[in-house]
Amino acid sequence: MSASGALQGSLSQVWQPFALIAGLLLIGRIAASDGLFEAVGARLARVLSNGLALFASMMFLVAVVTAVLNLDTSVVFMTPVLIHAARQRGIKEDAFLYGVIFMSNGASLLLPGSNLTNILVLSTSHLLPSAFALRMLIPWIGSIAVITALLAIWRWRDLRAPVDGEVQAPPLRWGLGIAGIVLATVFVLTMTRPALAVLITGVALVVTQVALTHRLTSQQARRSLQIRTLLTLFLVAVGFGVLARLWTGPAHLMNSVGPWASAGIGAGLSNVVNNLPAAVLLSSHRLDHPLALLVGLDLGPNLLVIGAMSSLLWLRIARGEGAKPSASRFTKIGLIVTPCSMVVAMAALRLVAPRSF
C-alpha cells in the first residue's frame, strides 16, 4: 500500500470516532448545565444513609453515564459529583475518588460510543451496534460488579462508618440534556455510522442552550470539548493508523493468536502507548477476535494512568476539586482490579458469545 493510500485509510477509520466523541461531550456538557448529574447524585446521597449503598448506587450511575455518554464525559462530569457526595455525607472519599475512574474505564464495554476504542475496532468488524451491545451486556455487568465489589472491600471500614451531614439537592431540570441523551442513544444503537448525527445534535443543542436558556456559555461548551487533547490524540491515532497499514506485523500478530492473548496484547499495549493508538495499530485490518481485544483495550488501562485519556483527565479534574489522586496508588489498586475484571468479562464473553469469542 502506498503512503497516500495508508493515510486515506487511516483517516477513514479515525475521523468518525472523534466526531462521535465530540458530539457526546457536547451533549454531556448540556446535561451538566441542566444540573442533571449533580441533581441525581445529590438525591442518591440524600436518600441513601448507608455508605455502602451510596457507593454502589454511585458506581452504577457512573456506569450508566459512561455507557451512554462515553467514559471521558463520565470522568469530566461525574468526578466532582462523587467527590462532593462523599464529603457531604462525611464519608472518606477514597473509594469514590478512585471508583469513578476505574468504573468509567470498566463500564465502557457496552455501546460503540462508550469508548473511542470500541468504534475504532468495530470499524473493521462489520458488527451492528445493537448486536455489539447484546454481546457485551453480560461482560459489562460482570465488570462493573467486580469493580464495585473490589473497591468496596478495599475501603470497607470507610464505607461502613456511620454517615452524617445534610445534602441539599438542586432542582432536577428535564431539559435539552435529557433530549440529547435519548437522541444520542437511539442514533448509536440504530445507525451503523452515527457520528455525524450525534455531532450535529450536540452542536444544535448547544446553540439552543446558549441562545435560549442561558444555562451554558459558548466558552464553557468549547472548554468541554478538550480541543487540544482531542486534536493531539487524533493526530497520534492517524499516525499509528498509517503505520499499521504500511507495516502488517500487528495485523498478522492479532490474527495468529487466540482471544485471551488478544485481550492481553490489547491491555499491554494500552499501558505502553495509550489505548487509542493501540486500538488503531491493532485493528487496521479485520480481526478474528475483536470483542476480546476490546476487553483488553477498555479494561486494561485501569493498570496505569497513561493507559487512557480518561485517566489523565481524572487526575486534573480531581486535583481541581481539592482531592489528592495518586498515580502510584492507582496502579496498586489496578494490579487487583484490572486482571479480575478482565477475567470475569472474558469468561462472560465466552459464555454468551462463543462464536465471536
Distance CA 108, CA 143 (A): 10
- In this prediction the pTM is 0.90
Q: What is the pLDDT of residue 110?
A: 95
**d(Cα 265, Cα 68) in Å, to the nearest integer?**
27
- Three-state DSSP state, 223: helix
What confidence score (pLDDT) does residue 211 get?
A: 85
Phi, psi of 82 (to 5 degrees): -70, -40
What pLDDT was estimated at residue 357?
A: 64
pLDDT of residue 283: 87
Block means of pLDDT (10 residues each) for the chain, length 357 residues?
Answer: 80 85 90 86 77 93 94 92 89 96 97 91 84 95 98 94 69 83 91 90 92 80 78 86 85 89 96 91 88 97 95 93 96 98 97 79
Per-residue pLDDT at 167: 65
